[in-house]
Amino acid sequence: MHELSILTAADEAPAGDCLIADGRVWSYADVAARVHDALASLRAQGIEPGARVALSPIADVDSICCLFALFELGCPAVLLHPRLSDRERAVILAEARPAHVITTEISETAADGQPSIPFAGSVDQTLAIAYTSGSRGGPRGARLSRRAFLASEGAHAANLGWIPEDRWLLCMPPAHVGGLSIVTRSLIARSCIVLSPGAFDPAEVTRLMAQHQVTLLSVVPTMLRRLLSLEEPIWTPRTELRAVLVGGAPFPDALRELAAKRGIPALATYGCTEACSQITTQSLAQGGQPGSGAPLPGIEVRIHAGEIEVRGDVLMDGYLGEDRSGAPWTPDGWLCTGDFGSFLPDGQLLVQGRIDDLIVTGGENVAPQEVEAWLESAPGIASACVFSLPHDDWGEEVVAALVTDSTRYSADTLRAQLADDLAPHKRPKRICMLDALPLNRSGKVDRAAVEAACAGQLRPI
């Protein structure tokens, strides 16, 4: 197994492609030289090995090199999303209490000649502190070790493998574990990353993929939908594209079918911040099928009282200020994910939604994700978000926000199909039409924002 070290990688494969940005191919030796500059800059700021350092990395060369420099120094990286508000940023900094907060701009001043300080810590040392999306009541910092990232790369490699020509497009911020894991996996494998900084632009992404023969792509379903919505030119896969990993949110059946029809090798994946991203991922043979794949090698998954629980080296050591005792850990060492699901007959995990999103109406349980998937399969409905509102008689009332194609959508048809296909307690009682579903920074549908956007606009279906 390779080390998680750019300097070691440069010794082993100095001429190998490491980063591609702005039309330039950076070799491992080129990137290592830039990391030496970053190390000099960190030393000039008084940053010592092992110190906790906060930064807001994006998908550009300087950000990646700053991360690599922190890896070399054994400095846990506190990841701050670039789009955090001042209040959100202040909350995280108050909890994480980093010794330093740095920018990712590397000084052009040449390295001072001091030898780089090689990493001499344990693989159990914290590599990064990544914040969850806050679905458990507020963002929490997950302490992720080097061992966890090494195990995550090993699990990915066992499922999809690596080829010498691999180039993974990074079009999501490495401030999220989904983006950071692309950086760490590629470094461990001595592979290459194509950088796509800035806001997600489907036309630019397809251009970069074609120009640089991208073989691997990671997206959330909203990104994939936008890629498949391109009209000039329509996006079709090139022969070198091996896999498009789709995770971070439910992967609707209609979107899977459209991807399969276009020949896109889209593979559903399920994971979480606390597990360094992937827990299950479909194999190439399973692409387009229901489910999110079987547990990756080295990762155990079980269902207890309907909840998905996970065990393995990919897991965090705990949230900041906590160990593995108490919630969300079981006494025998399993992580309770807060998601409910089941296994399909072929061994794939079927994720059925968040336990805390469950709607209880008239004593019946309703999983919003199930109703959303059905709605998005109905003619003329591009996307749907199901949520609940208080109801005097039923406790909660099921309602939905819809994004529709007016040329194909029919309210009468929808009512008839609802009556045929869904139990009465699962049917939305009121709907609201939106131009688009609000998303959070992770690209997931923001249910609170959807509810706010629908205020005063819900009408009986």
Domain 358-460: give its CATH code.
3.30.300.30
Per-residue pLDDT reduced to its tens digit, 158-168? 999 999 999 99
Does residue 113 surpass a pLDDT of 80? no
User: In CATH, which superfamily holds the domain spanning 6-352?
Assistant: ANL, N-terminal domain (3.40.50.12780)
Look at 150 and 323; give whichever has higher pLDDT. Answer: 150
Neighbours of 157 (CB within 10 A): 16
Residue 447: what pLDDT?
87
Residue 86 — pLDDT band, cuts 50, 70, 90? confident
Categorize the per-residue pLDDT at 110 as very low, low, confident or very high, splitting at 50, 70 and 90. very low
What is the token pair recorded at 143?
């302490």
pLDDT per position as a tens digit, 422-456: 888 999 999 999 999 998 877 788 888 999 999 99
CA distance 291 to 304: 18
For the chain, give every domain's residue range: 6-352, 358-460
Task: Please tell me the predicted confidence (pLDDT) of residue 271.
Answer: 96
Reply yes or no on whether the pLDDT at 131 is more than 70: yes
When pLDDT is cut at 50, 70 and 90, the band that residue 112 belongs to is low
What confidence tens digit (pLDDT) does each residue in 294-314 have?
999 999 999 999 999 999 999
Give the pLDDT confidence of 364-404 residue by residue, as tens digits: 888 898 899 899 999 999 999 999 999 888 889 999 999 99
Give the predicted TM-score (pTM) of the model. 0.85
Average pLDDT over residues 176-200: 96
**pLDDT exceeds 50 at position 135:** no
Residue 342 φ then ψ, to 5°: -155, 170
End-to-end CA distance of the chain: 57
